A and B are shown apart, each in its own frame.
Chain A
Amino acid sequence: MNKEELQNMIVKEILEIAPDVEEDEIEFNENIQRSLEIDSFDFLKILTAMHEKTGVEVPEADYAKVGSVEDMANYFIDNL
């Protein structure tokens, strides 16, 4: 999977979990929890869904490294 595929996958999960978020609201370099009002519960759901798709588990200690769509995609590339 390349970065673009991962980013699309993450966006898809965000839209799934937060159905009222519009796709064009999502800025790849912004913190998704703050900018899209994704709470810790939804955030965990996004990581869980990404784990199912990619097999990569983000430990709690690394949450700071996966704040934005772009960071998250990079993290998955590094850990695939």
Chain B
Amino acid sequence: MSEFVMPSLGADMESAILMEWHVKEGDKVSKGDVIAEVETSKGVIEIEVFEDGIVEKLLVEEETECKVGTPLAIIASDANESVEVKVEEKVEVEPPKEVIQQEELEPKKEVKLEPQEEPVVKVQSRELKISPAARKRAEELGIDISTITPIDGVIQLAQLEALNPQEVKVVVKEEKPQEKKKSETKDTKEGMRQAIAAAMSKSNAEIPHYYLSTSINMTPALEYLEELNKQRSIKERILPIAMLIRAVALALQEVPELNGFWHEEELHISKAIHPGIAIALRKGGLITPALLNADIMNLNDTMDSLSNLITRTRAGKLRSSELMAQTITITNLGDLGVDSVFGVIYPPQVAVIGFGIIKDAPWAEGDALCVRKVMQATLAGDHRATDGRVGAKFLDKLNNVLQNPKELL
């Protein structure tokens, strides 16, 4: 028997509204089944169950707002296995990202969840051990001490002094969502802005990024695609971005170090490739849902899945796994005429790949100067996890794959 809790669907989700149950008590469920729909700032998300079993009890009624971690249902295991076994399984099955997010969320969660009744910061500061000098300094700097991790259980002055201005800013930024959330009814757009703000601030403060860029001659790949599309009806046409995603999946198989997570001072390479695709929402903001299992898809599957994913993202109909499983991010700003994208890594991922516009440009081939379709591919890597050499190897592989487009099929 185990509790099924409200999952964290992105670094900053505090709570969501359980809209609808897709199962009833007594139903048999298998890992991956959608058992409920919840409404979040990212739209309506279908929540999947992570284990096989039988729904023993639904603990929450429909249309109830639940905080992350709230037990929603009791799932009884099929074969009366002990809870311990199931729990262990769960940890292995789920991507490490979720584990990290929950750990990271916990301190924040406390901070954010209590304020409804009492001002939080005070409650927190009373519980925290902090030296008087440090407390005074924190007040001067306007730092919320509840966001600082004590060393050996105590916050010392030296620790505050060591904070660089950037980090201080982050702390200040992170306070904002709390203030607003208190008074306001949920504004989807604002909720998403804040989620992006928090995740990107954290990334900028914690991840030492390195950036690489390479010019890729896209003429062979585009010509190949044109031939392919000529034989297809308009419905089955493949967009260049699908081909690029496919090329990334192939290159990552050769250079797996960029596909994974930075967790507990260690790189955890993910075997499966679930690239998060940055999809802009016209009303503002963006979501980077995972294109699940891109590594085992051919070009047609990649296009179909991408098309399906974009449509569902814009309609606000994603699945929980798509918001939790991303192993790397791909962002494409070429449609808007941008030359190159230098991305900010979404923690705990360790890399983001950017594509710019594909345009006619002078290109030297042998002794001749000619015009080719050229695109800038960029990579931002987490320097804790990998070095520039790995990133360079990846971009080189990517380039190679795109020069031999038949391999992309």
Q: Do A and B interact?
A: yes
A residues with a Cβ closer than 8 A to B are 18, 20-21, 33-34, 37, 39-41, 44, 47-48, 51, 57-61
- Per the bound structure, the CA–CA distance linking A2 and B283 in Å amounts to 33
Kindly identify which residue among A40, A58, A59 contacts B241, using a CB–CB cutoff of 8 Å: A40
User: Contacts A18-B282, A60-B226, A61-B226: A41 and B234 contacting too (C-beta < 8 A)?
Assistant: no
Chain B positions within 8 Å of A20 at CB level: 282-283
Tell which of A18, A33, A51, A61 touches B234, judged by Cβ atoms closer than 8 Å.
Answer: A51
Q: Which residues of A contact B237 (CB under 8 A)?
A: 44, 60
- Complex CA distance for A60 and B239, rounded to whole angstroms: 10
Considering the chains assembled together, what is the distance between the CA atoms of A60 and B229 in angstroms? 8
Can you name the residue of chain A whose Cβ is closest to the Cβ of B333? A39
Q: How far is the CB of A24 from chain B (nearest CB, A)?
A: 16
B residues in contact with A48, CB < 8 Å: 234-235
Interface residue B389 (Cβ < 8 Å from any Cβ of A): no
Q: 15 pairs across A/B with beta carbons < 8 Å?
A: A21-B282, A34-B336, A37-B282, A37-B336, A39-B335, A40-B239, A40-B241, A41-B306, A44-B237, A44-B239, A51-B235, A58-B234, A60-B226, A60-B229, A60-B237
A59 to B237, CA, bound (A): 10
A44: chain B residues within 8 A (beta carbon): 234, 237, 239
Q: Size band of the B side of the interface?
A: 10 to 19
- B residues 275-317 with Cβ under 8 Å of A? 280, 282-283, 306-307, 310
Nearest A-chain residue to B284, judged by Cβ: A20
Top-9 shortest CB links A-B:
A39-B335, A51-B234, A20-B282, A57-B234, A48-B234, A41-B310, A20-B283, A40-B335, A48-B235
Complexed CA–CA distance, A37 and B336 (Å): 8
Q: Is the pair A40, B240 in contact by a Cβ cutoff of 8 Å?
A: yes
Is B230 in contact with chain A by the CB < 8 A criterion? yes
Q: Is the CB of A59 within 8 A of B230?
A: yes
Complex Cα distance, B282 from A74, in Å, reads 28
Contact A41–B239 (Cβ < 8 Å): yes
A6 vs B335: C-alpha distance when bound (angstroms): 25
Residues of B within 8 A of A18 (CB): 282
Residues in A with CB closer than 8 Å to B183 are none
- CB neighbours of B235 from chain A (8 A): 48, 51
B235 to chain A, nearest CB (A): 6
B241 to chain A minimum Cβ distance, whole angstroms, is 7
Q: Report the separation of the CA atoms of residues A61 and B230 in the bound assembly, to the nearest whole angstrom.
A: 10
A80 to chain B, nearest CB (A): 16
Most buried by B among A34, A48, A60: A60
CB distance from A26 to the nearest CB of B (A): 14
CB B392 to nearest CB in A, in angstroms, measures 29
- In the assembled complex, how far is the CB of residue A40 from the closest CB belonging to chain B, in whole angstroms? 5
Cβ-based interface call for B164 (8 A): no
C-alpha spacing A60/B337, complex, angstroms: 19
Complex contacts, B240 vs chain A, CB 8 Å: 40
Does B80 belong to the interface (CB within 8 Å)?
A: no
Cβ-closest chain A residue relative to B283: A20
Complex interface residues of chain B between 242 and 297 (CB less than 8 A to chain A):
280, 282-283
How far is it, in angstroms, between the C-alpha of A33 and the C-alpha of B310 when the chains are bound? 17
A54 to chain B minimum Cβ distance, whole angstroms, is 11
| Chain B minimum-CB-distance residue to A49 | B234
Complex formed: what's the CA distance from A21 to B281 in Å? 12
In the assembled complex, the CB of A23 is this many whole angstroms from the nearest CB of chain B, namely 15
Q: How far is it, in angstroms, between the C-alpha of A39 and the C-alpha of B242 when the chains are bound?
A: 14
